[in-house]
Amino acid sequence: MRYVDGPAVECDLHLAADPARVWELVTDIELPARFSSELLRVSWLDGSRGPALGARFEGHNQHPALGEWRTISHVVQFDQPRVFGWVVTDPDNRFGGGPVDLTRPGATWQYRLTPEGDGCRLSHSVRIGPTRTGLSLVIDQAPEHEEEIIERRLDALREAMTGTLEGIRGLAEQPR
C-alpha cells in the first residue's frame, strides 16, 4: 500500500454497556489522551462545550520520530448516537501539505456504534491522507521503503486504537 492509496485501519469490539453511555464516552474528545502515548491533550475551540457538526477541537501530539505538533480537527459526522467523525488538519503546515482544506485532511477518524445483543459494537477507524502528515516526512527519508513504513504505522495505529476501545469498554461497563 502507498500513501496515495489512503491507508486505513478499523478496529471494533463488543461492549456490554448502554449505547447512550458509550456515546457519551466516544464524544468526550479528551478521553483518548488517557489511553494514548501519542495524543497528549485535546480541547474544544470556539467556545464549544461539546460535540456538534462543524465543531472544532485542538489536539497536541508527540512522537519520538517527529517531536511535538498540534492539529485542528473538524467534526464532519455527528449522527447521535451512531456516528461521530472528524477530519484532522495541520494548521501550522508543519508537514508541508499547504493551506488547510477540509476536503483534503491529514486523516479522517470515526467512531461507529451499532446496537448488538446486551450492548453495542463499537468500531473505531482512521484513513490517512490525502494531504501530508508526519508519516509523509518519514516516507520522504526512505521512499523505497514506503510500503513497510505505512504497514508499521498502521500496526501502531491498530494497537493504539484497540487500547482506546478497551479503555472505553472498561469505563462503559463499570457500574455508575
For the chain, which domains are there? 3-172 (3.30.530.20)
The confidence score (pLDDT) of residue 176 equals 73
CB 29 within 8 A of CB 57: yes
Three-class secondary structure of residue 146 per DSSP: helix
**Consecutive H or E run containing 32:** none
pTM: 0.95
Q: What are phi and psi of 41, to 5 degrees?
A: -160, 160
Residue 26 CB contacts under 8 Å (≥ 6 apart), including other chains: 84, 111, 113, 122, 168
Rounded-to-integer distance, Cα 72 and Cα 43, Å: 10
* pLDDT values of the chain reduced to their tens digit, one per residue, 176 residues: 999 999 999 999 999 999 999 999 999 999 999 999 999 999 999 888 889 999 999 999 999 988 999 999 999 999 999 999 999 999 999 999 999 999 999 999 999 999 999 999 999 999 999 999 999 999 999 999 999 999 999 999 999 999 999 999 999 999 87
Based on the number of CB atoms within 10 Å of its own CB, is 72 exposed (0-12), middle (13-18) or buried (19 or more)? middle
The confidence score (pLDDT) of residue 63 equals 92
Rounded-to-integer distance, Cα 11 and Cα 166, Å: 11
